[in-house]
Chain A
Amino acid sequence: SQELEQSPQSLIVQEGKNLTINCTSSKTLYGLYWYKQKYGEGLIFLMMLQKGGEEKSHEKITAKLDEKKQQSSLHITASQPSHAGIYLCGADNSGGSNYKLTFGKGTLLTVNP
């Protein structure tokens, strides 16, 4: 089974709608990272969460970490076409200082105008 499960695998929403992407780790989480990727390009760092219950926001994107459940959710409010892309969560399951990450398979988000 996957160490890091992301759901849904793909998501199509109408512009202006809210959406949530989930990431669940089968191992202890020392840190959870969210990235955005456009197909065939590098990853753009969005947010890092380290403490249980931590919540961070950047513009219309909010991410939360539930340390006990080993889960994180990424919520986009009033989605726009510019939000379209692949969202990847990366988990630090080792707690080391070099931030070695394991990635989920990603969620492909399409926002229709």
Chain B
Amino acid sequence: GAVVSQHPSRVICKSGTSVKIECRSLDFQATTMFWYRQFPKQSLMLMATSNEGSKATYEQGVEKDKFLINHASLTLSTLTVTSAHPEDSSFYICSASTVETQYFGPGTRLLVL
């Protein structure tokens, strides 16, 4: 199946700093990528839909100024958590869609101290 990578796999940062997470589709081009957030033992919550070359579409309740998404190319989307706070600590997963399904990255665990 298609491969999606995420970097970093885990990051620890201080409160108030910004963290960038990269999502890459390694062997295919993805016009649409998705960013999800998952809390322990809970399901994935869609944060935003990222289309290459255009502004991301955010789900209700997700602050667009806090979670900056850039989809600069057909193989790369980035999520920047700005001025991170402890409540932003979570597991962030990206996915990239093909004509058959979404393929998910391995996730990034963010811990804000």
Q: Which residues of A contact B (CB under 8 A)?
A: 33, 35, 40-45, 48, 88, 90, 98-106
Distance between A90 CB and nearest chain B CB, rounded to angstroms: 8
Residues on B facing A (Cβ under 8 Å) = 1, 4, 6, 31-32, 34, 42-46, 49, 51, 91, 93, 95, 97, 100-107, 109
CB distance from B27 to the nearest CB of A (A): 14
Q: Number of residue pairs across A and B with beta carbons under 8 Å?
A: 53
Once the chains bind, are A41 and B1 in contact (CB under 8 Å)? no
Knowing A40-B107, A103-B43, say if A33 contacts B49 (CB, 8 Å): no
- Interchain residue pairs with CB less than 8 A apart (28): A33-B102, A35-B104, A40-B109, A42-B4, A42-B6, A42-B93, A42-B104, A42-B105, A42-B106, A42-B107, A43-B93, A44-B104, A45-B1, A45-B101, A45-B102, A45-B104, A48-B100, A88-B43, A88-B44, A90-B102, A98-B31, A99-B97, A99-B102, A100-B34, A100-B46, A102-B46, A105-B42, A106-B43
CA A101 to CA B34, docked complex, whole Å = 9
Question: Once the chains are docked, how many angstroms separate the CA of A102 from the CA of B101?
Answer: 13
Contact B106 A99 (CB under 8 A): no
Least CB separation from B34: chain A residue:
A100
Q: How far is the CA of A63 from the CA of B101 in the complex (A)?
A: 16
CB <8 Å contact, A43 and B49: no
The answer to whether B106 and A105 touch across the interface, beta carbons within 8 angstroms, is no
Max chain B C-beta neighbours (<10 A), residue from A48, A88, A100: A100
Residue of A nearest to B106 (CB): A42
Q: How distant is A7 from chain B, measured CB to nearest CB, in Å? A: 14
Closest chain-B Cβ to A33's Cβ sits at a distance in Å of 6
Bound form: Cα–Cα A33–B49 in Å? 18
Task: Report the separation of the CA atoms of residues A42 and B6 in the bound assembly, to the nearest whole angstrom.
Answer: 10
Residue from B49, B100, B101, B106 with most neighbouring chain A CB atoms (10 Å): B101
Closest residue of chain B to A2 (Cβ to Cβ) is B43
Known: A40-B109, A104-B43, A105-B43. 10 other contacts (CB 8 A): A33-B101, A35-B104, A40-B91, A43-B93, A43-B95, A98-B31, A98-B51, A99-B101, A100-B49, A105-B42
With both chains docked as a complex, state the minimum distance between the C-beta of B68 and any C-beta of chain A, in angstroms: 20
